Structure 1
């Protein structure tokens, strides 16, 4: 990964300060309650923000971590969960087997201003996702930056030359290999940055945490950020102004591929058409920074997601498990095994994605495409039954398809240009990959292939795909690069430099998934945390914010 200070880099409980005075926000011109001053303000407590809070506070800085949502796991103060967890010091976010419930029951924890699924709570996506966690291969950095299902799937893969690896022991072996899926669970409970970075960070008196508070915008004088305006999202949140230390203070946006761009738009940073939308809004129009001070950058362009293509099969040895029913009424034996020993099926991710495999293919444009497949005991594309396995294909490094994310008049964020397979060579590579897998499955007569349908060609299936392409692995809306986006018309170039500093500013940084220039093959969580680690190292080394 090509950060400027190390081009060979390969692998980012004290609550809010009490109001003391009032301050006038430069630009918007409104008087805000002054909530305190910090060396560093981090907006967003997901994979990147938790890393930043830990590393910055470890360095002795006075740090404020702002999260727009509530706590999640029991250890962080969360209490949401089904009745059978009462008195067990567990929430729905602690128990891996309750993960899938997010798709049918997300009130109060899902971001309500984005047209995609996103977690707005302490931990961000790491608190609500399936918990996959594995190291990316080195090419992901170098290229982009200057049980039953397991036995069933791996049997047919071995027959065509795939070999077994331990995923995180061999992060560079991602071509015609397969592995068990690693997860960020500890002792049968959700772990990840909430159980590591956050635990060490919140023990320090120089870290202040405020929840249920959203960052409306940064307050700036030209390119110098003086603080952030915040608005409470519930009764225990904060509304007012947090300031950064004069001359040396910095603001780090870690609100995700949708949240960080929204803050930038509302701060007068982005393409003119998006800033005009904010300027015309009933919410922000009268207090937005003057248009003469806008910084035109291609925020929201370059949007990427892992396009997904499912292959669905059936086999009599497979037995599906009803994780949705288990949320409120788990099988007593499974419930007791989990509560007493943190073991059994509820200690695994729903719906059991325990198999993954990789390959690299080269379509006609000569650019290699990296593929990752994840198999799970579950139906897809409207197939129902308890003997089903879905293998989902994700195209990663080498992906050329791009989209765009924009803000609308009510200041909600939306995907307005889909990034899912709009490049013909991406499609060609997807067809190649699906065909190879279908051919391997066809050699085992005990397997019934349901999708692609019998008699349907793989090319027809991919080109007229009946399923959902999205995976909610959104990245790249604040692209990192050496091509300063302020030099153009605000629609091309990069948003942040190789120190993750926003072009046109002195002390504003973006450190989350939105800075990735191109798609990665691995699940994003580990890559985001690794990138945040390096970003903080660079930011701490900067003497004057630029």
Structure 2
């Protein structure tokens, strides 16, 4: 067997080198506020740490139409040219705009990923994860937010009450969807342009999914249930990825009251007793500066780096902080409750074909794709699992890039995928659980913030998740017996991991053997335990956390829309309080 995986990784490395040279030209800088210079001991009304999905939205909202002086601190820089082009998301991981933190090898899951660890891809640039994610826009299921409201005892987080913030961030441009009742569930003059990309190819798959009882819907956004299969909404508009940097910060380019400090790393939060007063940073010039916040410090560094910064600043589990000689400001379970959507990829061989593949349009999602939300119990109104179903043509280099550099499966696995794709199209199914019970944690490896924290994913640490994943995989596999799949002799590709096993034993082996991430890290500064329902850190004045880390449970689907909703809601709280 040829080592197509090694060849693909070599090609990606060459592309990444070329793009690194191109990035020196800063071809996107013209869109954004200029990099501002900082002066030691200077003061701002608000300091936002992290210019990712939440931080970009917050910085815009706090500085728009007000006299507030806002500082946005971003460790990275402008999102490079390739992040704007929808086709080019596969070479972005493992570059300078990806933090590329790694999980701790648990010896149990992720054993067929490269190095037996999860590469925790996170955006290190303006827009953060929204500048390198896969652009699928989904609100989640109403049950998600109603559950938050119940857990927190705060109805402001139920679906009907957060819907206004989803509408505030959305600009639905899909003409056909605007003509349906679903239009009432979306914003039409918000910040992020969203639309579907239906095709004749996806229609065949939607018909097959309907055969196994998952209805075709125009949109899974719903006041009652997100169960169904659909052409997903993408955060793509005007031929560009609609990152939160583009959607929010580009509009703030001329704001005199917004200072965006790039290549600047927050070292610690400063306190006067139990009141946050500012931050200590290292600048792009290597200077150590102290900067003050008159009103609030807002941490939006993501579910891995927000807890790290809080703990290094004295907010976290008392015994853990003291083991590193860190003075405790507040004893809170920071870093606990880490969540992700556990995933496993299935590759299904479809039609045989020798037809020439047309050149890809770089300005739309790379291949025809559907999303599918289903529950094992047909009476349940919220989904147990999601599948993202990408249709690749025969002999597809893009499929290999997804396998090797995005999911980072081992060369052995990706080479088997390559062989299956020779002369036949394939369905690349990203299968993942929506509401895992398993929890991991983020802990300090050092009192030095330049040292990555330890990330224990905890995947399948609660055995009920593995049991449910097995049921869900079996449930989805019924598609192999549908009319369309039988007509093309569709076959699940044998990875070689579970030879000789059948039935439930096979799927349990498969779920573990192909276990991977969805990069949907959340929960490490959760509402209820670390922050209150207005996202204020408990027992601390002048400090909030606003990002995926505040989620008490996961949401049903890709999380960027939910993170942005949280930022929109937080901005209202912050401005009202000040």
Alignment TM-score, normalising by the size of structure 1: 0.76
**Cα distance in 1 for residues equivalent to 2:70 and 2:353:** 50
Partner of 1:158: 210
Partner of 1:3: none
Partners in 2 of 1:169 and 1:463 — Cα distance? 31
Between stretches 529-538 and 308-317, larger displacement belongs to: 308-317
CA distance in 2, matches of 1:319, 1:295: 64
The answer to whether the Cα contact below 8 Å between 2:53 and 2:563 also exists between their aligned partners in 1 is yes
The answer to whether the 8 A contact 2:220-2:226 is kept is no
- Equivalence for 2:429: 391
SS in 1 for 2:527: coil
Richer in helix (by share)? 2
Q: Is 1:226 equivalent to 2:240 in the alignment?
A: no
Provide the rounded CA distance (Å) in 2 between the counterparts of 1:14 and 1:302: 37
- 1:38 matched to 2:44? The reply is yes
Structure 1 gap segments, 5+ residues each: 1-12, 20-32, 73-77, 79-90, 280-287, 322-330, 335-343, 482-493
Do residues 94 (structure 1) and 84 (structure 2) align? yes
RMSD: 2.7
Deviation at 1:148, TM superposition (A): 7.3
Which of 50, 70, 83 is residue 77 of structure 2 equivalent to?
70
Matched residue, 2:339: 304
Give the Cα–Cα distance (whole angstroms) in 2 for the partners of residues 152 and 132 of structure 1: 20
Task: Give runs of aligned pairs for residues 162-241 of structure 1, distance below 5 A.
Answer: 162-167=214-219, 170=222, 172-175=224-227, 177-232=228-283, 234-235=284-285, 239-241=288-290
Shift of 1:171: 6.7
In structure 1, distance between residues paired with 2:202 and 2:570: 37
Deviation of 1:152 (Å): 4.6
- Aligned to 2:92, what secondary structure does the other structure show? helix
Matched, 1:449 2:492: yes
Give the C-alpha shift of residue 217 in structure 1. Answer: 0.8
Query: Structure 2: which 5+ runs fail to align?
Result: 1-32, 104-119, 153-198, 393-398, 404-412
Where 1:461 maps in the other structure, the secondary structure is: helix
The answer to whether 1:511 aligns with 2:560 is: no
Which of 288, 292, 312 in structure 2 is aligned with 1:243? Answer: 292
8 Å contact from structure 1 (residues 272, 296) kept in 2: yes
Per-residue CA shift, 1:317-340, capped at 9, x if unaligned? 57999xxxxxxxxx9x84xxxxxx
Mapped pair 1:119 → 2:123? yes
Instruction: Provide the secondary structure at the position in 1 that maps to 2:297.
Output: strand
* Structure 2 partner of 1:426: 465
Instruction: Mark the CA change 1:18 to 1:532 in structure 2 (over 3 Å): closer, same or farther.
Output: closer
**Alignment CA distance shift 1:149-1:306 (3 Å):** farther
Residue 357 of structure 1 pairs with residue 372 of structure 2: yes
User: Is the Cα–Cα contact under 8 Å of residues 405 and 413 in structure 1 kept in the other structure?
Assistant: no
Partner of 1:402: 439
Partner of 1:374: helix, strand, or coil? strand
Structure 2 CA distance, aligned partners of 1:71 and 1:479? 29
Query: C-alpha separation between the residues in 1 aligned to 2:340 and 2:297?
Result: 26
Select 1:467's aligned residue among 514, 519, 544: 514
Cα distance, 1:278 vs structure 2: 4.0
Number of residue-to-residue matches in the alignment: 446
Distance 1:114-1:420 versus aligned 2 partners, 3 A rule: closer
